[in-house]
């Protein structure tokens, strides 16, 4: 069923995240690139997604693998050049895919020309483009703020005789987004990519974009039973991030985006106040279109309670924003490994969780390889590249384990990713999950993903309908999706024992049956979608 003419393309969209380093290598250097992505876009379009999201491909020293940007308006040579990017956009649009890219507005690389000028003196045009502060009388940092990756959020710079702030790596200095000139420069970046045909942006860590100008210390975090692996975890992050003026900057972004009809913005928002901030950042018609947090990305277990509580944060009341959901991405361990249930095969769990993702109200984001059922790879310490893991080893699980190359051809060298040794090793089990093995197998997760996305695209209730009639009983999760005269009931067994559902299914017509589910019973990791539109 086509989307209604007055419904924006992104509302209820399925977005496929591509991590460029690990998707496809076209030039045999062991690192994925833009030309490799372009060559594989037919595969992506064949999934039935609406758009792609490209993780950073900009010039960067790669201290944080692209999230430390040295030039917002270019392409790093390891990925290609602007002509390669233009070819990618043209091919994607030719296949009916929208293109969204990552923008990092909280910080840059210390190799960015803006920072080189800013640190040169206290009296130049960009002197206040970053967050600088004098030392305390004893020479210590201006505040007690801690960085996400470990250690103080301040580094001394002898050239200016001041400290500069960084919420992440020392080589990722904090932009002073309070400064109107900085905002103007970032808006020019947005316009640059929109003019090249980009359809939207995922804005990284946007709640880190403004600090407290009064430089007040953060208070200590209350006692917790959780293991604290970083100094960052010992504080309430009140003053180093989440300033109340952030939404005003987002309104400037939205005003510019509105000059480009059909464009789209989604914010990444983590932290202790994520739900409140996501709602603030997407409220009304003057801010961002959508936001997603970490409800599922770092969850150790998938439970009915978790799903319901996350979904109920987003009502369909007027003025409430539109959510996006991801079970996996480049920052979080593969969900099929995190959510393993004893006695349930990983392949069955992967099928059930895909059926759940595709039924959620909001936009859904699939991470490359999720459709193949890739699990988390145990990267040995000597091969770890992730700077966060290196700083906090072994208590922080390496993000590298979710960033390993995609397997395309099971019997090819490096499973068809590259002729050269890849930048990270492939998982031992991943060749058996290669695209060519699953491509025409009607029982594969890949084929099920295509089927699920087709059902979602054709269903007004799934694409943009409301949630109704939640069922949270033990390991049983259920909810109805309702919209435009259609009512679908979605039932899931998140446990290892069969569940009798016969009293939940009377009069319904099965639309989807996963892992042997039927209208009487949900086996372990079973999923069932029923059309019960007669109740509507």
Within 13 A of 245's CA, how many CA atoms are on the CB side? 12
pTM, entire model: 0.97
pLDDT at 4: 54
197 and 53, same structural domain? yes
pLDDT at residue 6 tops 80: no
299 and 251, same structural domain? yes
- CB neighbours of 434 closer than 8 A, spacing ≥ 6? 372, 407, 408, 409, 410, 415, 416
Q: Supply the mean pLDDT for the chain.
A: 96
Q: Let me know if residue 169 belongs to a domain.
A: no
- In the listed set 454, 488, 511, which residue is the last one of a domain according to the structure? 454
pLDDT at 226: 84
328 and 365, same structural domain? yes
427 and 278, same structural domain? yes
515 and 370, same structural domain? no
Percentage of the chain beyond pLDDT 70 is 98
- List, in sequence order, every residue forming a beta bridge with 471; answer none if it has no partner: 478
521 and 380, same structural domain? no
Task: Give dist(CA 44, CA 23) in Å, integer.
Answer: 11
pLDDT at 190: 98
Q: Let me know if residue 117 belongs to a domain.
A: no
- CB neighbours of 521 closer than 8 A, spacing ≥ 6? 498, 499, 500, 501, 502
Q: Three-state SS for 512?
A: strand
313 and 233, same structural domain? yes
pLDDT at residue 524 tops 60: yes
pLDDT at 346: 96
- The arithmetic mean of pLDDT across residues 217-245, rounded, is 93
Q: Are 471 and 479 in contact (CB under 8 A)?
A: yes
Task: Give dist(CA 207, CA 213) in Å, integer.
Answer: 15
Q: Let me know if residue 2 belongs to a domain.
A: no
Q: Are 494 and 341 in contact (CB under 8 A)?
A: yes
412 and 274, same structural domain? yes
Residue 150, Ramachandran bin (φ over 0: left; ψ between -120 and 50: alpha; else beta): left
Q: Let me know if residue 36 belongs to a domain.
A: yes
- The arithmetic mean of pLDDT across residues 52-64, rounded, is 98
- Alpha-carbon distances of 55 from 22, 215, 242, 268, rounded to whole Å: 11, 32, 23, 13
Chain segment 417-453, per-residue pLDDT in tens? 999 999 999 999 999 999 999 999 999 999 999 999 9
pLDDT at residue 100 tops 60: yes
- In the listed set 391, 424, 454, which residue is the last one of a domain according to the structure? 454
438 and 326, same structural domain? yes
- In the listed set 427, 454, 481, which residue is the last one of a domain according to the structure? 454
Residue 525: CATH number of its domain: 2.60.40.1180
Which tokens in the block code for residue 406? 């995609």
pLDDT at 474: 98
Q: Let me know if residue 165 belongs to a domain.
A: no
378 and 307, same structural domain? yes
Residue 252: CATH number of its domain: 3.20.20.80
pLDDT band, very low/low/confident/very high, at 224 (cuts 50, 70, 90): confident
Place of tokens 């202790």: 272
Q: Are 227 and 395 in contact (CB under 8 A)?
A: yes
Chain segment 181-219, per-residue pLDDT in tens? 999 999 999 999 999 999 999 999 999 999 999 999 999
Q: What are phi and psi of 179, to 5 degrees?
A: -75, 120
pLDDT at 1: 40
pLDDT at 536: 53
Task: Give dist(CA 135, CA 158) in Å, integer.
Answer: 12
Q: Let me know if residue 278 belongs to a domain.
A: yes
**Would you please indicate which residues are annotated as catalytic (active-site) residues?**
204, 268
Q: Let me know if residue 46 belongs to a domain.
A: yes
299 and 236, same structural domain? yes
Task: Give dist(CA 345, CA 336) in Å, integer.
Answer: 10
pLDDT at 3: 47
Q: Let me know if residue 320 belongs to a domain.
A: yes
362 and 481, same structural domain? no
pLDDT band, very low/low/confident/very high, at 2 (cuts 50, 70, 90): very low
Q: What's the structural domain count of the chain?
A: 2
Tell me the residue range of the domain where 527 lies.
466-535
């Amino acid at each position: 069923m086509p989307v209604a003419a007055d419904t924006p393309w992104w509302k209820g969209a399925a977005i496929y995240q591509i991590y460029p380093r690990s998707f496809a290598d076209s030039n045999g250097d062991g690192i994925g690139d833009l030309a490799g992505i372009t060559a594989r876009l037919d595969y992506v379009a064949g999934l039935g997604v609406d758009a792609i999201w490209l993780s950073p491909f900009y010039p960067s020293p790669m201290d944080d693998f692209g999230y430390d940007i040295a030039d917002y308006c270019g392409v790093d040579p390891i990925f290609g050049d602007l002509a390669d990017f233009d070819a990618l956009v043209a091919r994607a649009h030719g296949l009916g895919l929208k293109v969204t890219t990552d923008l990092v507005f909280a910080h840059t690389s210390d190799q960015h020309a803006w920072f080189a000028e800013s640190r040169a003196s206290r009296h130049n045009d960009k002197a206040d483009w970053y967050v600088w502060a004098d030392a305390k009388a004893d020479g210590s940092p201006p505040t007690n703020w801690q960085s996400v990756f470990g250690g103080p959020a301040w580094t001394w710079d002898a050239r200016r005789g001041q400290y500069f702030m960084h919420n992440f790596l020392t080589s990722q200095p904090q932009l002073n987004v309070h400064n109107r000139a900085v905002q103007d420069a970032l808006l020019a970046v947005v316009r640059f990519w929109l003019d090249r045909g980009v359809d939207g942006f995922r804005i990284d860590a946007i709640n880190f974009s403004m600090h407290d100008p009064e430089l007040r210390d953060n208070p200590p975090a209350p006692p917790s039973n959780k293991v604290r692996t970083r100094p960052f975890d010992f504080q309430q992050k009140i003053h180093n991030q989440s300033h109340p003026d952030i939404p005003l900057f987002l309104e400037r972004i939205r005003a510019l985006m509105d000059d480009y009809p059909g464009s789209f913005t989604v914010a990444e928002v983590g932290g202790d106040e994520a739900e409140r901030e996501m709602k603030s950042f997407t409220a009304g018609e003057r801010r961002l279109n959508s936001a997603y947090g970490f409800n599922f990305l770092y969850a150790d277990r998938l439970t009915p309670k978790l799903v319901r509580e996350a979904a109920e944060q987003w009502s369909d009341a007027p003025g409430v924003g539109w959510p996006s959901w991801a079970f996996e991405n480049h920052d979080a361990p593969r969900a099929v490994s995190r959510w393993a249930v004893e006695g349930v095969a990983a392949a069955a769990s992967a099928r059930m969780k895909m059926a759940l993702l595709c039924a959620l109200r909001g936009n859904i984001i699939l991470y490359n390889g999720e459709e193949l059922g890739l699990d988390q790879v145990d990267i040995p310490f000597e091969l770890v590249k992730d700077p966060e893991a290196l700083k906090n080893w072994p208590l922080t699980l390496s993000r590298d384990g979710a960033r390993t190359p995609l397997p395309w051809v099971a019997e090819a060298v490096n499973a068809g990713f590259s002729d050269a040794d890849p930048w990270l090793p492939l998982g031992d089990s991943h060749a058996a999950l290669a695209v060519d093995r699953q491509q025409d197998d009607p029982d594969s997760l890949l084929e099920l993903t295509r089927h699920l996305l087709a059902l979602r695209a054709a269903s007004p209730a799934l694409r943009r309908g409301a949630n109704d009639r939640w069922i949270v009983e033990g390991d049983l999760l259920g909810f109805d999706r309702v919209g435009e005269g259609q009512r679908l009931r979605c039932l899931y067994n998140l446990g290892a024992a069969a569940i009798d559902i016969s009293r939940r299914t009377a009069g319904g017509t099965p639309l989807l049956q996963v892992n042997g589910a039927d209208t009487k019973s949900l086996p372990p990791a079973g999923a069932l979608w029923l059309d019960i539109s007669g109740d509507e």
